[in-house]
Amino acid sequence: MGRTGKPSEPDSSPPINTFVIRFWREWSAGRPQWRGRIEHLQSGQSTAFLDLESMLEFVRSFGIMVGEEKGGAATSHESKG
């Protein structure tokens, strides 16, 4: 029951997924290489990555459709102008 004494309605909001992403640059053979680590806070799972696609693959493993809106249209993060 809710605070008003009435039965609580089920929460219709989507589950919360929180990620912590860390980037750093390492020097290998005289040239820099970006590396990263991503952690899903709710599960404690984490992985290292060397490219954006690997990071997004980890996010997708939690059922999050990165790059898509409801209705299946892809989103664009590019600014127009």
- The two most distant CA atoms of the chain are separated, in Å, by 67
pLDDT at 6: 62
Average pLDDT, the chain: 79
Average pLDDT over residues 6-31: 82
pLDDT score recorded for residue 76 = 39
pLDDT at res. 4 = 60
Question: Please, what is the end-to-end C-alpha distance for the chain in angstroms?
Answer: 51
| Residue whose pair of structure tokens reads 């009435």 in the numeric block | 6
Percentage of the chain lying above the pLDDT 70 cut: 69
**What is the predicted pLDDT for the residue at 48?**
98
* Extents of the domains making up the chain: 19-60
pTM exceeds 0.75 for this model: no
